[in-house]
Structure 1
Amino acid sequence: MRIHLSKLTEHLGCVLCHGMLRDAQTIPECLHSFCKSCIYRHFLVQGSRNCPKCFLTLKPRPITTLISDQQLQDIVDKIFPELRKRDAVDEKEFYARHNFPKKPQWMIDQQQAQKNGTDTGSRRRGSGNPSHSNSNGAATATASATDVTTTACNNSTGSSSNGSVRSVASSPAPTTTTSHKRKAAQTVLVNGSIVKTVTELSVQVYPFEDDAGNIDPLPALTFPYLQVEGSFKIFELRKLIQQRLNFDPSDEIEITCMGATVGPELSLLFIQRTIWHQHHERKPIILHYRRMLA
């Protein structure tokens, strides 16, 4: 049986390098797959937050949600075994040329298991390094149960509006816990290391309305619904609003929650737990912005 290569490329190829998938990584929102080096370059170097194939706007820091698609990569390796052999030779030559020590296989499997939140890595280590199999298996299973997603790097202040927030330009405001899509923040111990889960919160942002007419209302955002990480700070939100409304940096604004001004150093997770949760447990956080009072 013969199959044209062009038909396989559509399903097993990478649209970024136009070659076959190498170390396939899948975007969970749209299930499109790419080479690991290609998609990392797309997110980190180009600073994009869209899927390169369908252009879907992804979650904040999309690189942290990528899934290593080993099943898809196994299919590619079975159909094109010469590519895997060539990669192994090239990798060995690269390490030798630059005099880099190569990581042992059990360590590579352990890191992959931490990223995926599964116990596959511990099963693989059972044959290669027995001393690690039992202790790491339970820890990795804990990671799977809590849906651990590691954060690769902290956002700088300048990139907060691009990497930590996602606009939701659809439909009416969500009201239930399901539509809220809030993951509980947890800290778990994985293979001896403390790993924090990524917390996402749904937020609605509107201009402050003064019934007494003492404050001129500011323009409304085109997309007031945001999906942000719990660590997202109020000063980052202020900067985002200023950018979207094309405000001059000298025009300072402040954020309020339930009528009270919140400090710029506070995170949205802190506000949700200390202010909002007591009165609106099952609703997204609603914030308002206004010109800073003298």
Structure 2
Amino acid sequence: MAKKRGVIGCPKLNKINLVFFVFFVIVFGTFFVSAASILDQLHLNIQTTDISGNVVTGTFSFVFNISTTSDCLNVVYSNSTSLTTDSRGIISYYLQNTDLSYDSQYYLCYYRNGVLIDNAKIARTPYSFTAQNTTLSGMSIDTNLNMGSYNATATYYFGSGKYLTDIDTSALNLSQINYWTKSGNDLYYNSGNVVIGTTNTSLGKLVVSATTSNDLLTLQNTNAYGWLSFRESSTVRTYFGYDGGGNIATNTLAGSTVLRALTTGLHLIVGSDAINGMTILNGGNVGIGTTAPNYTLDVNGNFSIKTTSFLIGGNGDVNVY
């Protein structure tokens, strides 16, 4: 048996007892390779040696204290037992019901026959990182956290979120975002400009800027009729729209201007009576008061020319000067 070299608390204790031992601590140990919850026990494997490092065997009185200080004075757990080593001087022992929160640094203080042999830092490590459920509190991350293809699920995230990407907005509760106001299916913001393709926000309320030769802006409607309205507050001042016949209309509904692009030509309708005012056929004939002009200019009805000269060429030459 090892000879007693001093008493607990002696300042020369560490110099007198230079003991080499193999110390394997399996915190909250489990022998199953699984993600089961961590057991509240501590597994110790210790090899006993003398002051010269030689293995000693036999039966010894062991005390295992867990302290919050490296001097082993503030003891939060203690276990005393008598154990017999194997032929290699090794003892294997479980500290049961340690009931440690691991919210601070702990030290395992190992005494043999009343002498403090050594102390070692301990922490909860082995299976906690593969456990199915892990409780973290006050974790500080000082570098990138790479989760690969896995998901992080939580009820609340705190922070500006300015660097978040690939956000599924359908799952967001936009009523908690200060920048926008959400009412039912409506989302609005009371001030500011919206710009796309440029950083110049002074060009207007809505600016679309691009260098493409394709469509710059597309407005799509599932209905055969559609309008862009220009309003003063809630009053319609003018509009621009289309109908299912391919017609383009401008101005207000009470006194509209309609351009009808048909296969025969272009028809201009002005006013609310829906009567063609002027027709331009594909061949170039222009009709006023008729939709089927037979001449370059075909006027159906009276007309007045106020001028000092009038000339009609061809067989019916009329010259008025």
Please state which structure has a larger fraction of its residues in strand. Answer: 2
Q: In proportion to residue count, which structure has more helix? A: 1
State whether TM-score is above 0.5.
no
**Structure with the greater relative contact order (CA < 8 A, sep ≥ 6): 1 or 2?**
1
Q: Please tell me whether Structure 1 or Structure 2 has the larger radius of gyration of its CA atoms.
A: 2
TM-score tier (shorter)? under 0.3
TM-score (norm 1): 0.17
